[in-house]
Chains A and B, each alone.
Chain A
Amino acid sequence: MQNKKRVTVLVTIALILAITAIALNSIDSEISTTRTQTQDHAGGGQIGIDIQPPQVEDKLLEEEIPQQ
């Protein structure tokens, strides 16, 4: 009976390790030790302006208006 318990524990450990080994191999787990430069772009800040033509006084037109 005692032997049966020992074998059960042994089998359990074997199963856990086997699953772990298979999982690690299948995901090919490697921890990257390099750091890459990361950039983020925030585009889209917009500046707007509406430039109207200057209002020029038309002196010539004023002179052409007949005096009353």
Chain B
Amino acid sequence: MKYDTLEITSYASIAVIAISLFFIGTELTGMATTNDTGDVNVTITDSAGINFTTDLLDFGSGAVTPGQTAVLESNGTGTNLSWSGAKVTGELVLENIGNNNVSIMLQTDKSAQEFIGGSSGATFEAMVSNDSEPLSCVGTNTFTTFAPINTTPQLACGSFNFSDAADELIIDFRINIPDDATGAKTIEIKAIGTY
């Protein structure tokens, strides 16, 4: 029995097709006799990204009135009590630069006492708002008014929006300084975004 080249090539091709389909995962089945549904899975890559677009707030220089505790607030209408320095207005600005809504936790790298010093009475508080871009934050916010911020992460926004028109949080601060605290002080604010 003699086979010609075309025939051999055809059989070889059919064999390659069958083997390839086996490896790809296609299975030969009988004719469908009923309606069936198929599932298509697709993975869309998403990412979380947050960034301090304003990452420095300097309360400046000043002295506490003897016998008093100075109270400094960074928001525009805030107080500047028992402090010889100028009233400072400013804030940190946090932006959602990812393509997901995220929850935001805030924490510091040191306690209020470690930050300010003095014998007693030092406090450090934060307030988170979305006044600049309303609807940026939906959900639970521990810092709707000034509340203590410390080294333990606390929820600052249950759902921080990522859309360009509403993806910005304003973080203001209030510091209570006892009159026996002195020196140049810094503290770091860390934001943690999770989705």
Contact = CB atoms under 8 A, between A and B. Distances in A.
B192 interface: yes
A10 B24 CA distance: 18
A38 B48 contact: yes
Contacts of B37: none
A22 B16 CA distance: 12
B29 interface: no
B38 interface: no
Given A10-B14, A25-B23, A48-B57, A40 B6 contact: no
Contacts of B61: 49-52
Interface in B148-191: 171, 173, 175, 177, 179, 181-191
A44 B40 CA distance: 43
B6 A51 contact: no
B158 to A, nearest CB: 15
Interface in A21-64: 21-22, 24-25, 31-33, 37-56
Contacts of A39: 48, 192-194
Contacts of B195: 37-38
Given A18-B20, A20-B24, A24-B23, A52 B92 contact: no
A47 B24 contact: no
A18 B195 CA distance: 41
A7 B181 contact: no
Interface in B59-107: 59-66, 72, 84, 92, 94, 98, 100, 102
Interface in B1-31: 6, 9-10, 12-14, 16-17, 19-21, 23-24
Contacts of A56: 66
Given A47-B173, A49-B58, A51-B182, A11 B13 contact: yes
Given A40-B48, A43-B188, A44-B52, A55 B63 contact: yes
Interface of B: 6, 9-10, 12-14, 16-17, 19-21, 23-24, 41-43, 47-52, 55-66, 72, 84, 92, 94, 98, 100, 102, 116, 171, 173, 175, 177, 179, 181-195
Interface of A: 3-4, 6-7, 10-11, 13-15, 17-18, 20-22, 24-25, 31-33, 37-56
Given A31-B42, A40-B192, A50-B184, 6 more contacts: A10-B14, A21-B21, A25-B23, A33-B41, A40-B50, A47-B187
